[in-house]
A and B are shown apart, each in its own frame.
Chain A
């Protein structure tokens, strides 16, 4: 994109500061992650004493060895992978199928405003824990992977983003297709979608992260802890003892002992770190679609 051959001094100074500033920001954002990593490679006691900041103390890989032999982690990882792949697919299909009709103007699609509000309202109002549970139960999804997918099958927020992007596209695109005699489905798949790649990459990322990170539904809709997805599982590993104590009416000694035993910071850090890796892997892959710049060749010609 940088076509200028001569670069002014002012721009040089600006770019210099820009680099320094952004690198500094990036460094600050990296700190907690380094902290997590250092903890995961440290031995238990310096960690319990809060001595580990950015470098491991008493270097050990035992936390990772523990996880490798921890069936629950591996199992939960598998549930999460399934859930994410299936969930992202369902999300994308529904986003595209919904965003396209709603991207039409009221003139072309008279009920679009009604439909739009129908979906937007759901961002604002939710029934809460128990009603949600009952709906899932009555539709017989309890304890199945669909319980984690269908209730959020259409991410309305992402749909709006895609719809907006579609509305920003030049109308000539569609017009041309229409004149060629293409029907809606054909227009959508062959004309609209190819130029929507950056926004589709964005919402794919959102869906991926959403599915990968959600934990509450797993805890409520799964009947067995063995079927928890990864983040639900991690939620039971990383707990705030105070929140627990405040939350119980009269905690029994045996449960208190459980709570105190759960607090193993090193393995928690290792598990959190491992759980973030897939996101790190997916991101650059999708990023490609919105950093290389979009060439709207089909319009320019």
Chain B
């Protein structure tokens, strides 16, 4: 951990502030600094709300505490979390830095695996027994609302306004919707993680080498896509002399999954479909559900014909994401609808093994239809919540400030590797969304101007570095390929911003924080109806006209009632 000269200066500044702060806290709270931490922290909490209108005192965004304070947090752990030599969740470079710079002792309240149900189960149990850690991350908006109504989480509006550094406050203007989603009655009850929901829109991903081998062009219409699928299936695109390739990869979860769904095909017919909960949108002034639109029949007819012709895997109905992953890795699959992180997974596998680049294209369009793609409301997403029992909420904001200084704006390349790269940022109790989403516009502007990236600073430099270095072949690391696939000119983020947004095709899901009871009860059953009807129609178990019966059944089984409730909850302005 080498520090640059500038860093050292900044650090010195902090130390002087620390000296001042001793008097400050004594002055404000009337507590001698020799008091035990528990007592002084109590007073600190009171100060921040009572004196919120007072001019900012010396207790600034990065002022260290005179007496150590303790902050407990919930860790979303994972098997793949990398630790720098000997570090643990309890003791690592972040906990040291936070202690050194702010005099805050981090304490892991619990850690539970986020890639399984463990975190969810653990958190729910902890909530039920009332032992919330000071700060924790979670995405369940229903739970968020319950915690708010129950007074279990803290109103952090005042501490945020008082203690957040200017850079951190700027997020409010950069991501206003994320912040709006974190508010109740205009008060901030959590700090949003701020992911850009563009990662959910569909793209058509195609292997470069298959296109080249067949001397084919990327399809722009559904007809061309079918024709290309036919060639992929029949013309031995991998040149191994065996007919072992599929036309188009499809997940057994035809709409509710992330990889290999047919939402991209539905989108071509003007249906903005996303996972079940995010399929509500306003059409011609009325709220409706994507998968019951009459146009879906057109898309299903296409898929049905493709299945009958053998262009879809005849066994797709039992193939989930992990099997599709195998098909991609074994080079049987060259074209698939997928979300914007395809170069991270699963196409990283073929890149690693064969050096094959798979890239995203805008979804092929259907003539006579305006295509629509769906994103979830930015008001949904992960939140960092603060327990109502937290004695030093301002300490959490200070940690966030420190994160911002260290990761987002630091010019020291060591900071990037030590505190962010390789999932290291997750060792900090509070952080913001991954930079591919935060920096998209900046990176595209830089590519347009052909900037060398030499004079950039902070995180932007690193992200931009991945993109241009992958393009010129100097960096072929997984991170470079992953980032490139999203951020190069025609990468997935580029398509989202330049095509989808410009074509006015982006439709936002209507359902954000408020969820009708009837939907909570019935969403599973209604989702099952969509899955079953769509699958049966595609594989020919049911005639195409069964779609109409499905729609009426869906509406009577609670669908109509959900739509009515939604109209009340989300009135048109």
Asked if chains A and B are in direct contact (CB within 8 A), the reply is yes
Would you give the shortest CB distance from B443 to chain A, in whole angstroms? 16
Task: Check B349–A45 contact: CB distance below 8 A.
Answer: yes
Task: Check A244–B116 contact: CB distance below 8 A.
Answer: yes
Would you give the shortest CB distance from B445 to chain A, in whole angstroms? 22
Contact with B along A231-253 (1 / 0, CB 8 A): 01101110111101111111111
Task: Note all chain A residues with C-beta closer than 8 A to B110.
Answer: 223-224
Which one of A101-109, A151-159, A259-267, A280-288 contacts B? A259-267
In whole angstroms, what is the CA distance A120 to B334 when docked? Answer: 57
Q: Which A118-135 residues have C-beta < 8 A from chain B?
A: 129-130, 133-134
Task: Check A256–B258 contact: CB distance below 8 A.
Answer: yes
In whole angstroms, what is the CA distance A49 to B352 when docked? Answer: 12
A193 within 8 A of B: no
Q: Which A257-275 residues have C-beta < 8 A from chain B?
A: 257-263
Would you give the shortest CB distance from A130 to chain B, in whole angstroms? 5
In whole angstroms, what is the CA distance A254 to B421 when docked? Answer: 12
In whole angstroms, what is the CA distance A247 to B327 when docked? Answer: 24
Task: Check A259–B380 contact: CB distance below 8 A.
Answer: no
A181 within 8 A of B: no
Task: Check A261–B80 contact: CB distance below 8 A.
Answer: yes
| CB-based nearest A residue for B340 | A253
Would you give the shortest CB distance from A251 to chain B, in whole angstroms? 8
Would you give the shortest CB distance from A253 to chain B, in whole angstroms? 5
A20 within 8 A of B: no
In whole angstroms, what is the CA distance A257 to B433 when docked? Answer: 13
Task: Check A134–B129 contact: CB distance below 8 A.
Answer: yes
B95 within 8 A of A: no
Q: A246-B256, A249-B141, A262-B79 are in contact. Are A51 and B321 (CB under 8 A)?
A: no
Contact with B along A110-148 (1 / 0, CB 8 A): 000000000000000000011001100100000000000
Task: Check A51–B112 contact: CB distance below 8 A.
Answer: no
Task: Check A134–B111 contact: CB distance below 8 A.
Answer: no
In whole angstroms, what is the CA distance A253 to B433 when docked? Answer: 8
A197 within 8 A of B: no
Q: A242-B253, A245-B258 are in contact. Are A236 and B116 (CB under 8 A)?
A: yes
In whole angstroms, what is the CA distance A166 to B189 when docked? Answer: 62
| CB-based nearest A residue for B353 | A45
Q: A49-B329, A225-B113 are in contact. Are A252 and B139 (CB under 8 A)?
A: yes
| CB-based nearest A residue for B125 | A133
B404 within 8 A of A: no
Identify A219's interface contact among B118, B129, B258, B381, CB under 8 A.
B118
B66 within 8 A of A: no
Query: Which 5 A-B pairs have CB atoms at the shortest separation, nearest pair first?
Result: A49-B330, A260-B345, A50-B326, A48-B329, A133-B125
| CB-based nearest B residue for A132 | B125
List chain A positions with a Cβ less than 8 A from chain B. 45, 48-51, 72, 129-130, 133-134, 137, 219-220, 223-226, 232-233, 235-237, 239-242, 244-263
In whole angstroms, what is the CA distance A111 to B423 when docked? Answer: 61
Task: Check B277–A262 contact: CB distance below 8 A.
Answer: no
Q: Known pairs A45-B329, A49-B326, A256-B345. 8 more at Cβ < 8 A?
A: A134-B128, A239-B116, A240-B322, A250-B382, A252-B139, A252-B381, A262-B79, A262-B115
Identify A133's interface contact among B88, B128, B349, CB under 8 A.
B128
Would you give the shortest CB distance from B518 to chain A, in whole angstroms? 18
Task: Check B139–A249 contact: CB distance below 8 A.
Answer: yes
Task: Check B352–A45 contact: CB distance below 8 A.
Answer: yes
| CB-based nearest B residue for A236 | B113
Task: Check A220–B353 contact: CB distance below 8 A.
Answer: no
In whole angstroms, what is the CA distance A232 to B495 when docked? Answer: 41
In whole angstroms, what is the CA distance A260 to B382 when docked? Answer: 19
Task: Note all chain B residues with C-beta closer than 8 A to A48.
Answer: 325-326, 329-330, 349, 353
Would you give the shortest CB distance from B519 to chain A, in whole angstroms? 13
Task: Check A72–B79 contact: CB distance below 8 A.
Answer: yes
Q: A220-B125, A236-B118 are in contact. Are A254 and B113 (CB under 8 A)?
A: no
Would you give the shortest CB distance from B257 to chain A, in whole angstroms? 6
Task: Note all chain B residues with C-beta closer than 8 A to A263.
Answer: 322, 325
In whole angstroms, what is the CA distance A226 to B278 when docked? Answer: 36
Would you give the shortest CB distance from A151 to chain B, in whole angstroms? 14
Interface centre among A129, A134, A224, A253 (most CB of B within 10 A): A253
Identify A250's interface contact among B80, B353, B376, CB under 8 A.
B376
Task: Note all chain A residues with C-beta closer than 8 A to B139.
Answer: 248-252
Contact with A along B232-262 (1 / 0, CB 8 A): 0000000000000000000001001110000
Task: Check A224–B111 contact: CB distance below 8 A.
Answer: yes
Contact with A along B179-211 (1 / 0, CB 8 A): 000000000000001010001000000000000
Task: Note all chain A residues with C-beta closer than 8 A to B125.
Answer: 129-130, 133-134, 220
| CB-based nearest A residue for B126 | A133
Task: Check B115–A255 contact: CB distance below 8 A.
Answer: yes
Would you give the shortest CB distance from B129 to chain A, in whole angstroms? 5
In whole angstroms, what is the CA distance A241 to B131 when docked? Answer: 30
| CB-based nearest B residue for A49 | B330
| CB-based nearest B residue for A260 | B345
Task: Check B349–A225 contact: CB distance below 8 A.
Answer: no
Task: Check A249–B380 contact: CB distance below 8 A.
Answer: yes
Task: Check B329–A235 contact: CB distance below 8 A.
Answer: no
B76 within 8 A of A: yes
5 contacts between A and B (CB under 8 A): A48-B326, A220-B125, A224-B111, A252-B381, A257-B345
Interface centre among A233, A249, A261, A263 (most CB of B within 10 A): A249
Contact with A along B114-126 (1 / 0, CB 8 A): 1111101110110
Task: Note all chain B residues with C-beta closer than 8 A to A236.
Answer: 77-79, 113, 115-116, 118
